[in-house]
Amino acid sequence: MIPYGKVATYGQIADLAGLIGKPRVVGYALYRVVDSMEIPWHRVINAKGEVSRSSLRDGNDDLQQSLLEGEGIVFNRRKLELSVYRWQPDLAAIDRLIESLGEQPSTK
Protein backbone atom coordinates (compact mmCIF):
# COMPACT_ATOMS: atom_id res chain seq x y z
CA MET A 1 0.00 0.00 0.00
CA ILE A 2 0.99 3.60 -0.47
CA PRO A 3 2.73 4.65 2.76
CA TYR A 4 1.54 7.37 5.12
CA GLY A 5 2.74 10.78 3.93
CA LYS A 6 3.25 9.65 0.33
CA VAL A 7 1.07 9.73 -2.79
CA ALA A 8 0.88 7.91 -6.10
CA THR A 9 -0.72 9.01 -9.34
CA TYR A 10 -3.59 7.23 -11.05
CA GLY A 11 -1.22 6.41 -13.91
CA GLN A 12 1.42 5.03 -11.56
CA ILE A 13 -1.11 2.65 -9.95
CA ALA A 14 -2.46 1.67 -13.37
CA ASP A 15 1.05 0.80 -14.55
CA LEU A 16 1.74 -1.26 -11.41
CA ALA A 17 -1.53 -3.13 -11.98
CA GLY A 18 -0.60 -3.90 -15.58
CA LEU A 19 -3.14 -1.42 -16.94
CA ILE A 20 -0.61 0.61 -18.90
CA GLY A 21 -2.07 3.91 -20.09
CA LYS A 22 -5.38 3.42 -18.27
CA PRO A 23 -5.36 5.73 -15.24
CA ARG A 24 -9.10 6.31 -15.51
CA VAL A 25 -9.72 2.66 -14.69
CA VAL A 26 -7.96 3.27 -11.37
CA GLY A 27 -10.11 6.35 -10.80
CA TYR A 28 -13.30 4.38 -11.45
CA ALA A 29 -12.19 1.63 -9.08
CA LEU A 30 -11.30 4.07 -6.31
CA TYR A 31 -14.65 5.81 -6.72
CA ARG A 32 -16.26 2.51 -5.63
CA VAL A 33 -14.12 2.05 -2.50
CA VAL A 34 -16.01 1.89 0.79
CA ASP A 35 -14.47 2.79 4.16
CA SER A 36 -14.54 -0.81 5.42
CA MET A 37 -12.09 -1.81 2.66
CA GLU A 38 -9.25 0.10 4.35
CA ILE A 39 -7.79 1.22 1.03
CA PRO A 40 -5.87 4.52 1.17
CA TRP A 41 -7.85 6.01 -1.73
CA HIS A 42 -6.96 9.53 -0.63
CA ARG A 43 -3.27 8.94 -1.44
CA VAL A 44 -3.95 8.64 -5.18
CA ILE A 45 -3.86 11.92 -7.09
CA ASN A 46 -3.54 13.13 -10.66
CA ALA A 47 -0.28 13.49 -12.60
CA LYS A 48 -0.25 17.26 -12.00
CA GLY A 49 0.08 16.73 -8.25
CA GLU A 50 -3.49 17.77 -7.60
CA VAL A 51 -6.61 16.21 -6.14
CA SER A 52 -8.86 15.48 -9.12
CA ARG A 53 -12.02 17.53 -8.68
CA SER A 54 -15.46 16.08 -9.41
CA SER A 55 -19.00 17.24 -8.75
CA LEU A 56 -19.92 13.58 -8.14
CA ARG A 57 -17.78 13.23 -5.02
CA ASP A 58 -20.03 15.15 -2.61
CA GLY A 59 -17.27 17.20 -0.95
CA ASN A 60 -14.69 14.41 -0.91
CA ASP A 61 -12.29 16.58 -2.92
CA ASP A 62 -11.79 18.76 0.14
CA LEU A 63 -11.77 15.69 2.40
CA GLN A 64 -9.01 14.12 0.31
CA GLN A 65 -6.80 17.20 0.53
CA SER A 66 -7.51 17.49 4.26
CA LEU A 67 -6.55 13.85 4.86
CA LEU A 68 -3.30 14.33 2.96
CA GLU A 69 -2.50 17.52 4.86
CA GLY A 70 -3.12 15.56 8.06
CA GLU A 71 -0.30 13.25 6.95
CA GLY A 72 2.06 16.21 6.60
CA ILE A 73 1.68 16.75 2.86
CA VAL A 74 1.88 20.43 1.96
CA PHE A 75 -0.25 21.92 -0.80
CA ASN A 76 0.48 25.22 -2.52
CA ARG A 77 -2.52 26.48 -4.50
CA ARG A 78 -4.14 23.02 -4.38
CA LYS A 79 -0.99 21.36 -5.72
CA LEU A 80 1.72 19.28 -4.04
CA GLU A 81 5.29 18.62 -5.11
CA LEU A 82 5.41 15.15 -6.64
CA SER A 83 9.21 15.22 -6.44
CA VAL A 84 8.85 15.32 -2.64
CA TYR A 85 5.77 13.21 -1.92
CA ARG A 86 5.57 10.63 -4.73
CA TRP A 87 5.84 7.04 -3.51
CA GLN A 88 8.65 5.10 -5.16
CA PRO A 89 7.68 1.46 -4.64
CA ASP A 90 10.14 -1.40 -4.29
CA LEU A 91 9.22 -3.24 -7.49
CA ALA A 92 10.95 -6.44 -6.39
CA ALA A 93 8.84 -6.48 -3.21
CA ILE A 94 5.68 -5.95 -5.26
CA ASP A 95 6.65 -8.84 -7.56
CA ARG A 96 7.18 -11.08 -4.50
CA LEU A 97 3.80 -10.08 -3.09
CA ILE A 98 2.03 -10.83 -6.37
CA GLU A 99 3.84 -14.17 -6.59
CA SER A 100 2.83 -15.10 -3.05
CA LEU A 101 -0.80 -14.20 -3.73
CA GLY A 102 -0.76 -16.43 -6.80
CA GLU A 103 0.48 -19.38 -4.74
CA GLN A 104 -2.30 -19.20 -2.15
CA PRO A 105 -4.67 -22.18 -2.14
CA SER A 106 -8.08 -21.65 -3.65
CA THR A 107 -11.01 -21.32 -1.24
CA LYS A 108 -13.59 -22.64 -3.73
Q: How many domains does the chain have?
A: 1
Q: Write down the pTM of the prediction.
A: 0.80
Measured between alpha carbons, how far is 40 from 38 in angstroms, rounded to an integer? 6
pLDDT of residue 107: 47
In a domain, 90, yes or no: yes
pLDDT of residue 39: 87
Per-residue pLDDT of the chain (108 residues; tens, 9 = 90+): 899 999 999 999 999 888 999 999 998 888 888 776 788 999 999 999 999 887 666 667 788 999 999 999 999 999 999 999 999 988 887 778 778 777 554 444
The answer to whether the CB of 85 falls within 8 A of the CB of 6 is yes
Nearest residue to 81 (alpha-carbon basis) of 34, 37, 48, 107: 48
In a domain, 51, yes or no: yes
In a domain, 33, yes or no: yes
In a domain, 3, yes or no: no
CATH number at residue 20: 1.10.10.10
Q: Give kind and range of the element (H or E) at residue 45.
A: strand 44-45
Burial degree of 21 (CB within 10 A; 0-12, 13-18, 19+) = exposed
Cβ atoms < 10 Å from Cβ of 7 = 23
Helices (H) and strands (E) in the chain, counts: 5, 2
In a domain, 107, yes or no: no
Compute the residue count for the chain: 108
Q: What is the domain range of residue 67?
A: 8-102
- Residue 9, helix vs strand vs coil: strand
In a domain, 61, yes or no: yes
